Amino acid sequence: MITLDEFCGKAGFQNVLSEKCHEYLIEKECVGVQIQKPMRMLLRFLRMCAAKGEPLDHASKSAVECWNTKDVNETPRNHYYRVTEIRRFMQYLEKIGIAAYVDRDIRRVESSFVPYIFSHDEIARLFVAADDLPYTPISPQRVYVMSLLFRMLYGCGLRVSEGLNLIMADVDLEQGVLHIRSSKFGKERLVPMSKSLMYHCSEYASQVCKDRDANSPFFQTPKGEHYSPTTVYYAWRQLLYYAGISYGGKGKGPRIHDLRHTFAVHCLQKWAESGEDLNAKLPYLSAYMGHAGLSSTQQYLRLTAEAFPHITSKFENSFDVFPGKQVKL
């Protein structure tokens, strides 16, 4: 937990606003919210106020409006996150009796991005490509790391960061369970693995992870560090090429994160074709994937219906889970 002196040291000064920022962050941390990103945003806001000569004993309208101005190269999504994070702090100030301008006209940005859902054949080709990645003397064990990592991202629906942050103690090979600690929303969860993924993990551990202690990275570079997302992205581009899957360019996909989306869609496809009650299954899928709420999981219903139209016609009378326009991505 960061102290007031540490926070003010990062800000470069101490005043009413910086003290209230610190109290606000402590309050968020006490209820289990990760504070790294909010803290960076608040520090930027404080420095902007100081640089522009804004008052630092309250939050003025001019300061908030200046902050809310969209940068030229800023994406709508990043801009929305930036302004809503400061609005939450303004609401906190207002609640504790500090004068603050709360912009109540911030509208949520709807994402127009449509994830790429891999076919089962494409997934199989990606795994073959991962097993045949070219040898590199800089990282001799890369082929073993990437072969398992991409299977894990798809087979468990993990976020890339969750896979890369695994340590040896997080991988229970006897029970076949992953302990996800570093999650997007600060929520820990246990993720069971399939038998085939357990086998690959065991093979990997016996070949690559000898003599490692419990706190060592599970996916470890020759320097003993966690692999970086940049390294994984480079390998991903190679996989797409060798698997014969077209790449639309940065930001257009297919992205590594689309393996997670594909996992969810393939789960729903399997359950629907087996006659399972998808309404009953959704909460399980939501918990397994570490979603903040059920609404995040419901977006996959439309994707499943679009990827496998025969499921919609077969089950729409039995399940009220393909509402089409009601579920937005």
Could you tell me the residue ranges of all domains in the chain?
Answer: 4-95, 120-242, 258-326
Convert the pLDDT of each residue in 23-62 to its tens digit.
Answer: 998 888 887 677 888 888 999 999 999 898 988 888 899 9
Q: Give, for 47, the enclosing helix (H) or strand (E).
A: helix 36-51
Angle at 128 between CA 138 and CA 266, to 5 degrees: 120
Segment 165-188, tens digit of pLDDT: 999 999 999 999 999 986 776 678
226 carries an active-site annotation: no
184 is catalytic: yes
Give dist(CA 50, CA 63) in Å, integer.
10
Query: So what's the pLDDT on residue 319?
Result: 41
Which of 133-137, 152-156, 160-164, 184-188 is predicted least confidently? Answer: 184-188
Residues 6+ apart with CB under 8 A from 316: 322
Is 291 tagged catalytic? yes
Give residue 112's pLDDT: 58
Catalytic residue among 20, 116, 300, 302, which?
Answer: 300
Options 184, 270, 310, 328, the catalytic residue: 184
* Phi, psi values for residue 190, rounded to 5°: -105, 130
From 159, 200, 226, 302, the catalytic residue = 159
Which residues, 6 or more positions from 158, have their beta carbon under 8 angstroms from its beta carbon?
Answer: 152, 178, 180, 191, 260
pLDDT reported for residue 326: 33
233 is catalytic: no
Read off the pLDDT band of 327 (50, 70, 90). very low
Cα angle 65, 66, 68 (rounded to 5 degrees) comes to: 60
Which CATH fold would you assign to the domain 120-242?
hpI Integrase; Chain A (1.10.443)
